[in-house]
Amino acid sequence: MLDALLAAPALVKVLGSLAIILMANLLRTPLLFAILIGAVALAGWTGRAPLEAAAIAGAALAAPGSLLLLAALYLVIGLGNQMDAAGAMRDLVGAVRRRFTHRTALAALPALIGFLPMPGGAVFSAPLVAGCDPDGALLPDLKSQINYWFRHVWECWWPMYPGVLLAMQLSGLAVWQVMLYGLPLTVACLGAGYLFLLRRVQPAEAIGDAADAAPRASLPRLLTPIIVVVAVYTLARVGYAALSRIWALPPMSDFIPMGLGVLAAMLALQRQRPLPRAAWRTILLSPKTATMAGIIAAMQIYSAFINAKLPGGTLMGVMDAELHAWGIPLWAVTILIPFISGLTMGVAFGFVGASFPIVISLLGPDPAFGALLSTAALAYGFGYLGMMLSPVHVCLLVTNEHFNTRLHRTLPPLLGPAAVVAAAVVAVHLALKVLVHP
């Protein structure tokens, strides 16, 4: 029996570990432990000895990228807590609710935060969505889905996202070429989100008096922290790139300019709305931060077992070989490898890095531009959908934690909008294949 389990295809092992996480969470296991159970199951299923698995997990937690991710997430949560304590969160929600309908406000706030490539950025927009429903009229599941879905509508093309930048690098496409397939997918995401999520919100539903009671500060002033994050992030990236042309500098993690931007935003907000030391003690020592950090650490361990080397390569590489051995058509491989990569890694940078070298190599050494562009559209689109349906996606985890809901309640309703976007991905792929000249 054990030998049969160990001999199972890589695809079965990967999807089986995700099913274990979902089942554990369904049985009311805290999310942190559900992910750890799935990680341990995957480690054992792939033949890892206990000491080897412990070494992989320890190396994952001690890796600079993991530590920088945790530090960046800590700062993101801190900025959100600071905005809440200073009243900036309440005022921003009030300003948006005065200018837009209830439905539009619920989608606009996470979409606005979506322009910031923050790790776990949905934890920053979740309080804003909650502020649009002060009376608790909406189900927590629906608020979690709206926050999560609209937080990511720009990730198909917005070049501040590491996944988009890596896709450009690996495919050789320029920003405007990525936009050719990315912008239609964003439109599909917005439309699908409206059809399946926002339409469940009653347009005439009462939203309380908070919007009228909120101070009438100007919207640009209320957006100062977000503007500062974008400005500092961009300046840090551009400045480091310029210095790298002069000196041989090592690559800079995207978490560093993001962390600098969030720190600058915290300083700007403190100058704008000063808080006493007692408030800062609460902000910096928030129990929510420790819980979120534990969930992210568990997710890093799970990802480490996905990416760790096996005798036949990584799990994704073994899966690619299996699909070819099974005679799966090229177009299906272009869909499956990115989709499963996104499903298991829950991050765009991960699915692009794992799948694009495989997918692009299938086109041959010198592919025609039309074939390259249409294939990149198909691969990125289905990788994005896998990421959005992943039970280990950081934004989904922190959103569920904020609204105190569970994976089996938030993920299934997203299948409808995902199906609409999948149809759009195929349509864009076919259109580019026909219309773009070689």
| Average of per-residue pLDDT across 142-155 | 95
CA separation for the pair 137, 207 (Å, rounded): 8
- Read off the pLDDT of residues 90-115 as tens digits, 9 standing for 90 and up: 888 888 877 888 888 899 989 988 88
The reported pLDDT for the residue numbered 210 is 44
CA separation for the pair 146, 6 (Å, rounded): 39
Backbone angles phi, psi at 310, to 5 degrees: -115, 170
The reported pLDDT for the residue numbered 156 is 92
- Read off the pLDDT of residues 230-271 as tens digits, 9 standing for 90 and up: 899 889 989 998 999 899 888 888 788 888 998 999 999 999
Angle subtended by helix axes 122-131 and 102-113, to nearest 10:
160
pTM: 0.77
| Average of per-residue pLDDT across 209-226 | 66
Confidence bin at 212 (pLDDT 50/70/90): very low
Q: Which residues, in sequence order, are bridge partners of residue 297?
A: none
Return the structure tokens found at 264: 């600058």
> Is 419:191 a contact under the CB 8 Å cutoff?
no
Q: Is the pLDDT of residue 321 over 60?
A: yes
- Read off the pLDDT of residues 370-400 as tens digits, 9 standing for 90 and up: 889 999 999 999 999 999 999 989 889 889 9
The reported pLDDT for the residue numbered 206 is 38
The reported pLDDT for the residue numbered 211 is 44
| Average of per-residue pLDDT across 41-67 | 90
Choice among 29-33, 197-201, 244-248, 428-432 with the minimum mean pLDDT: 29-33
The reported pLDDT for the residue numbered 3 is 67
Choice among 58-62, 135-139, 226-230, 254-258 with the minimum mean pLDDT: 254-258
Q: Is the pLDDT of residue 87 over 80?
A: yes
> Is 418:388 a contact under the CB 8 Å cutoff?
yes
Distance of CA 345 to the CA centre of its chain: 10
**10 Å Cβ neighbour count for 210?**
15
The reported pLDDT for the residue numbered 79 is 86
> Is 146:198 a contact under the CB 8 Å cutoff?
yes
CA separation for the pair 135, 436 (Å, rounded): 51
Q: Is the pLDDT of residue 437 over 70?
A: no
- Read off the pLDDT of residues 294-311 as tens digits, 9 standing for 90 and up: 887 888 888 888 888 887
Q: Is the pLDDT of residue 119 over 70?
A: no
Confidence bin at 438 (pLDDT 50/70/90): low
What's the Cα-to-Cα distance from 306 to each of 18, 25, 85, 208, 358, rounded to whole Å? 11, 20, 39, 46, 16
Q: How far apart are the first and last CA of the chain?
A: 52
The reported pLDDT for the residue numbered 273 is 93
The reported pLDDT for the residue numbered 235 is 93
Angle subtended by helix axes 50-62 and 31-45, to nearest 10:
130
Q: Which residue is listed with tokens 């997710």?
A: 299
Confidence bin at 367 (pLDDT 50/70/90): confident
Average pLDDT value over all residues in the chain: 85
Q: Is the pLDDT of residue 288 over 80?
A: no
Query: Rounded to 5 degrees, what angle do the CA atoms 163, 168, 170 make?
Result: 90
CA separation for the pair 414, 405 (Å, rounded): 14
